[in-house]
Structure 1
Amino acid sequence: MSISGNEIVLIADDSAVIRVLLSQVTRKAGYTPVTAENGRQALSILQSRHVDLILLDINMPEMNGMEVLSYLKTNEINTPVVMISGSGDIEQAVQSLKMGAYEYLIKPVDPNRLNITLKNALSESRLRREVKMLSTAVTNSPLSIMITDLDGSIEYVNPAFTDITGYTAGEVLGKHPSLLKSGSHDRLFYTTLWAKISSGSNWQGEICNKKKNGELYWQYTMISPVSLKSSGISHYISVNQDITGKKKTEQALEKSRKRFRELTELLPQPLFETTIEGQITYANAISFSTFGFSREDFEQGLSYKDLIAPEDHERLNANLRKKLANIPFGDHEYLGRRKDGSIFPVLIYSAPIIQDGVPSGIRGIILDITERKEIEETLRQNKEKYRHLFQAIPDAVIVADRSSGSLVQWNQEARSIFEASDSELSAMQFKDLFPHDVYETVRERFELLARDTTTSFESSIITRYGLSIDVSISAGIFSSAGRDQYIGIFRDITEQKKSEELIRENIRLKNDFISNVSHELRTPLFSILGFSSTLLNDWDNIDEDTLREFLGIIHSESKRLSSLIENVLTISRIDSGKVAYKKELTSPGAIVAEVCRNLSIRAKEKNLELQLDLCPSPPDIDADPDAMKQAVINIVGNALKFTPSGGNVHVGLSKKNNHVQITVRDTGLGIPEKDIDHIFEKFYRVERPEHEIEGTGLGLPIVREIIEEHDGCISVESRENEGTTFTITLPAASATKEREP
């Protein structure tokens, strides 16, 4: 066909008149004429454009019609040629027809015959091209094509048949297609096939055949009857597509699908598939036992909503919409519902089922997390218990990351001992807990530990405000979430250190006391023993005055020894809590006056002035008279003991704000400032190397115990080498609390 859509006729004739006449006829017939003056010009036109038919004059200059026809045949140019001649030479006509000309016309050409010739030639040309095109298509088709007669004898196969089956055309022509039978189909299959095509209908379906080498293959076959109007069905044509690969894929897919189903039936978790509307189309066996539904329930129709508690339906629908829209979400936990209505926690993980690029349903897995929830609750409770226990530990506890040194956990006591808030501790490093000069030692002690072992040692820590505190550290290393961590339990041992120091001091004081008591006991004992031995051994030679002197010394030393023993016994009773005070209304003035009378002789012996100053009508006190007398004796006796000869001791009694005050002021040695805070401690004695003064260090502790047991207090003021003032303050009887009878 021409580009314009009209068929083109090339008119080659050396006569211009003939060319015009023929052009008019062809144009009138609906064709497009193209003219050439001779054969060479005609060939030039053929080489430059498409031509559907050639009207070729035999006798032309330069190159005649026969030469052009010969050229066309040699070069396999199949354009139909109608020869035109003015001579009517029969031989020439026969020769041109042998060389491939379609027709031979004699001039003058009859227009009607020319029209008929053109029409027939072009129709035959078109048919020939179509046949050739069809033949080429059949020959080159990747589909196997077979043509048989009515009895099934093979009359034609294309190359694709040979490629697929291995049989050449020569091996199958005249034979029946049954030679391809594989035995995969029964007789009914073929009977039905032949009945269908014999009735004039098409048959199509999948057939398993056998190749020449015995290999089975699958093909999709369409068999059509070829009918002639005059005689009905004459042939059958079979068009076959090799679908072996597809069938293998389908078989593999089916095998995979079967394996998947078998595996899903073995899984201990429910698996499901639903339509896009939520209708369940598949559920494995465990699904039924988990939710309590039966196969009959499934067959009658179940929705995913039947498996979920109503209160979670809206959230589940929203999440499914997100899933279908490929929007990520992390909320997979729901309340599952069994057939009996009972509720239990589940996790649902799902994915859309995609078919032809469009979601067609949902596929997913359901995890019953009841046991996990119970474990989580137990863990939560244990964690809460641990948190309370951790916070309740009376010692500071710090947990730090071994690698980074960051503090990761601490309790309330840690906040207290380090004087830091949570935010401040979270910003601190493990090394920040210790003074610079001890951190390396502490770190080394931690690093020497094996995992899950502990050790204890003493060190010091530093608070946020720079205060250093002595602590006992119980150290350990443990692993948490794959990371090693230090744990340190810090106990403030400041008071313990003080107690230890106090114990050491008490031991020293007791040792001193024992030494002093031994000395104090030995001194009067030696005097008593010495003078009594003299009396026993030399009684007859001792005069009366000497005898009286010796007996006086023995008596005095015995009293001294008795007082010492009494003090020791008193402090022992105090320490053991066995002292029982018998309180009654007592006159403090009488006690003070009596003590001063009893000690006046001692004052005179030391050449001391003992002054007594009593206020008028002092109130009574609620007190044990003997204990109160002992307290006043100890205070006044100490004043006399530590006041050098020629000094003064003043004893006063006054009333002040419903209280009675007893004041003892001396002009004695005084107490050094460093000793003031310790003089009421048991066994403590002020060191006075230049003065040898007797004493056990028990008098003042006894006084304080007596006064405090009477709801009073005692204070002291002193300047070394200038004197000391002791003040005892006691509540008057009218101000004391009412006691139970």
Structure 2
Amino acid sequence: MDDISERKQTEKGLLENAERFHDLINSLPQVIYETDALGTFSFVNDSVFQVFGFTRDDITGITNIEQLIESEDRVEIKEHMIQMMQSGEAGSFEYTAIRKDGNTFPIQIYAAPIIKGKNAGGIRGIISDISKQKKSEIALKELLEKSLQISEMKSNLITFASHELKTPLVPIMGWSELIENSLKKGKSLDKMINLGDIESITRSAKKLSKIIDNFLDVGRIQSNRMELHKNEQSTADLMERAIESVTPLAKTFNITIHNDLQNQSLYIDGFRIEEVFTNILSNAIKYSPPKSNVWITSERLEGIYIVSIRDQGEGFTSEQLQDVWHPFSTSYLVKSDSPFPGTGVGLYLSKSIVELHDGKIEISSAGRKQGSTIKITLPSTHPRPTEGYWFKLIILGEGSVGKSSLVRNFSEKHFDDDYLPTLGANVLVKEMNLVFNREKVKVSLAIWDIAGQEEFRLIAPAYHAGAAGAFLVGDLTRLSSFNALSAWRHELSKDLNKDIPIILLANKCDLSHQIEGLYLEKLASQLGAFNVFKTSALTGENVQLAFQLIAEKMLENSQNQEKSK
């Protein structure tokens, strides 16, 4: 009897260990598998469902590991299996896998042969989804390339800037020294300096100021701080002023400008677009031979207006065209024999300004000494802003999750310890000034703080009507408050016949809580929220940011709707 009891106890222990091992294997995020020598599965853990998107019913049709691999990699995985079984050595390989929905993704398989006696009878391995790793590698590579580009740009900047800044300083310094020495010797300046000399000093000072302004604009663009001030502008007026500003330079080299531009009223930043026209005309003149021509033409197509400026100048090779838009690039070193060596800042600024207007700019050239053509495309049907925007923002969630406190923190940057439950709904109107698409926009938020008590749920449809955005709020100290949000979301979808931007707010993050970020991200996805924030009405953490982000999203939706009309 003792032997039987001991055997039973041993069997029970083994069974418990097996169950524990089984649970451990199935809890791992990687796919653990075994196959026979032909690749047919003999075991696979439950992670295969999550990684590949299969259900238990689907997986019965997946019998071989090759079925999980994209067709182009199947020959390779078969060769690797044969190689491992012949050599008896483990290996690590990367393949492109395919999910149930047909989408592909990168995986890494670490596998080793299953040795039975002297021969390998199959493969045992681990499959890892390396999508995030690959994205990180791509981002790191792009960052490295950008860093190298910035390093090269800085080196070229020193070379170019020293020349660019020094050129206009020469006449300024020369005349300053002459005036200083003459005054020290008691000479009269009337006989030494005339109006033309003063104009020369002024031109040099203006040129120096322009160079500095261009460098500052480059900094504004690269730090996303350049703002546009748009209104209705006549392209003919802008081009005429640009031509007027470059006419002295054109006369110096006897270059003729042919202006055949068709006028078009556009909603643009007139100062910046005139700057674009001036930069391109200036380059066309600087790098064209004497007694040549510059042509300006335009065309109107559906929704767009195109300006073309063609010259008979230096032109570019196909290699130079690849980095012609980068300031201080080597494309401009080839023009060092020109009396006007440049930095490329003008073209870089022109491209950035046009793109900030949702337009595009292109340059083409048949080759060196073959001239260039620059095409500027601008939208002609851009929506005009109103005096401001008004949006209804609703805040939903159970009672006592802190909805009213969040609103108070946003509007007054204040927290009130005295809690009074909201009855029905509180409405607050708060104005915000946003910078959206490089424009200053005034937005008025009508914030509806809707009561969370059950007795007020019947009148919720009236409060939902007209909402342009919503916060779904839960209390980080109460998991049940997050579980209840699905019902709030369902009622909102039922009452509105449109999609609106939603943010999930996990409030009271200043208090001790056990709810993890991974749970919140998954819940946000289920609720259709485009973002999730942990907030604190007490400390103000992420409160202002959440309101700003939802306002920007509502504004973006509104402008997209205006464009589609």
Aligned to 1:218: none
> How many Å apart are 1:725 and its aligned residue?
0.8
1:614 has 2:251 as partner: no
In structure 1, distance between residues paired with 2:109 and 2:171: 62
Distance change in 2, residues 1:461/1:575 (3 Å): same
> How many Å apart are 1:613 and its aligned residue?
1.1
In structure 2, distance between residues paired with 1:269 and 1:638: 94
Aligned ranges 1:93-108 → 2 under 5 Å: none
Aligned to 2:6: 268
Q: Mark the structure with the bigger radius of gyration.
A: 1
> How many Å apart are 1:714 and its aligned residue?
0.9
In structure 1, distance between residues paired with 2:65 and 2:309: 59
In structure 2, distance between residues paired with 1:556 and 1:532: 14
Q: 1:427 aligns with which of 79, 82, 85?
A: 79
Contact 1:535 1:547 in 2 (8 A): no
Aligned to 1:163: none
| Secondary structure of residue in 2 paired with 1:268 | helix
Aligned ranges 1:359-370 → 2 under 5 Å: none
Distance change in 2, residues 1:694/1:420 (3 Å): same
In structure 1, distance between residues paired with 2:205 and 2:11: 101
| Secondary structure of residue in 2 paired with 1:627 | helix
Unaligned runs of 5+ in 1: 1-260, 271-285, 287-364, 395-407, 433-442, 448-453, 455-459, 465-472
Aligned to 2:236: 589
Aligned to 1:727: 375
Aligned ranges 1:382-531 → 2 under 5 Å: 382-383=27-28, 386=31, 420-422=72-74, 424-428=76-80, 496-497=140-141, 499-531=143-175
In structure 1, distance between residues paired with 2:287 and 2:82: 57
Q: Deviations over 1:677-717 (max 9, x none)?
A: 21112332433254353322211111111111111111112
Q: 1:537 aligns with which of 181, 187, 202?
A: 181
| Secondary structure of residue in 1 paired with 2:306 | strand
Aligned to 1:550: 197
Q: Deviations over 1:329-362 (max 9, x none)?
A: xxxxxxxxxxxxxxxxxxxxxxxxxxxxxxxxxx
Aligned ranges 1:275-314 → 2 under 5 Å: none
> How many Å apart are 1:579 and its aligned residue?
1.0
| Secondary structure of residue in 1 paired with 2:309 | strand
> How many Å apart are 1:497 and its aligned residue?
4.6
Q: Deviations over 1:174-233 (max 9, x none)?
A: xxxxxxxxxxxxxxxxxxxxxxxxxxxxxxxxxxxxxxxxxxxxxxxxxxxxxxxxxxxx
Aligned ranges 1:128-207 → 2 under 5 Å: none
1:687 has 2:333 as partner: yes
In structure 2, distance between residues paired with 1:650 and 1:608: 11
> How many Å apart are 1:602 and its aligned residue?
1.6
Contact 2:214 2:345 in 1 (8 A): yes
In structure 2, distance between residues paired with 1:633 and 1:603: 12
| Secondary structure of residue in 1 paired with 2:333 | coil
Contact 1:532 1:554 in 2 (8 A): no
Q: Deviations over 1:240-263 (max 9, x none)?
A: xxxxxxxxxxxxxxxxxxxxx6x5
In structure 1, distance between residues paired with 2:213 and 2:307: 24
TM-score, normalization: structure 1? 0.39
Contact 1:589 1:653 in 2 (8 A): no
> How many Å apart are 1:736 and its aligned residue?
2.0
Aligned to 1:235: none
In structure 1, distance between residues paired with 2:356 and 2:312: 29
Matched to 1:507, the amino acid is S
TM-score, normalization: structure 2? 0.50
> How many Å apart are 1:494 and its aligned residue?
6.6
Q: 2:310 aligns with which of 635, 655, 665?
A: 665
Contact 1:509 1:682 in 2 (8 A): yes
1:568 has 2:215 as partner: yes
> How many Å apart are 1:666 and its aligned residue?
0.8
Contact 1:713 1:729 in 2 (8 A): yes
Pairs aligned (count)? 334
Contact 1:717 1:724 in 2 (8 A): yes
1:629 has 2:281 as partner: no
| Secondary structure of residue in 1 paired with 2:236 | helix
In structure 1, distance between residues paired with 2:23 and 2:171: 82
Matched to 2:302, the amino acid is N
> How many Å apart are 1:374 and its aligned residue?
3.4
In structure 1, distance between residues paired with 2:280 and 2:190: 39
Matched to 1:264, the amino acid is D
| Secondary structure of residue in 1 paired with 2:72 | coil
1:717 has 2:364 as partner: yes
Q: Deviations over 1:284-338 (max 9, x none)?
A: xx8xxxxxxxxxxxxxxxxxxxxxxxxxxxxxxxxxxxxxxxxxxxxxxxxxxxx
CA RMSD after TM alignment: 4.4
| Secondary structure of residue in 2 paired with 1:581 | coil
Matched to 1:659, the amino acid is I
In structure 2, distance between residues paired with 1:500 and 1:376: 44
In structure 2, distance between residues paired with 1:705 and 1:576: 12
> How many Å apart are 1:421 and its aligned residue?
3.9
Distance change in 2, residues 1:431/1:694 (3 Å): farther
Distance change in 2, residues 1:369/1:487 (3 Å): closer
1:708 has 2:447 as partner: no
> How many Å apart are 1:371 and its aligned residue?
2.2
Q: 1:600 aligns with which of 232, 236, 247?
A: 247
Contact 2:94 2:109 in 1 (8 A): no
Instruction: Give % identity.
Output: 22
Unaligned runs of 5+ in 2: 33-45, 53-63, 98-106, 389-565
> How many Å apart are 1:652 and its aligned residue?
2.4
In structure 2, distance between residues paired with 1:646 and 1:558: 29
Distance change in 2, residues 1:559/1:584 (3 Å): same
Aligned to 1:736: 382
> How many Å apart are 1:548 and its aligned residue?
3.0
In structure 2, distance between residues paired with 1:392 and 1:683: 50
In structure 2, distance between residues paired with 1:378 and 1:663: 69
Contact 1:707 1:714 in 2 (8 A): yes
Distance change in 2, residues 1:674/1:528 (3 Å): same
In structure 2, distance between residues paired with 1:389 and 1:521: 63
Shifted more, 491-500 versus 602-611: the winner is 491-500
Distance change in 2, residues 1:461/1:686 (3 Å): farther
In structure 1, distance between residues paired with 2:188 and 2:264: 57
In structure 1, distance between residues paired with 2:165 and 2:73: 60
| Secondary structure of residue in 1 paired with 2:216 | helix
In structure 2, distance between residues paired with 1:390 and 1:692: 68
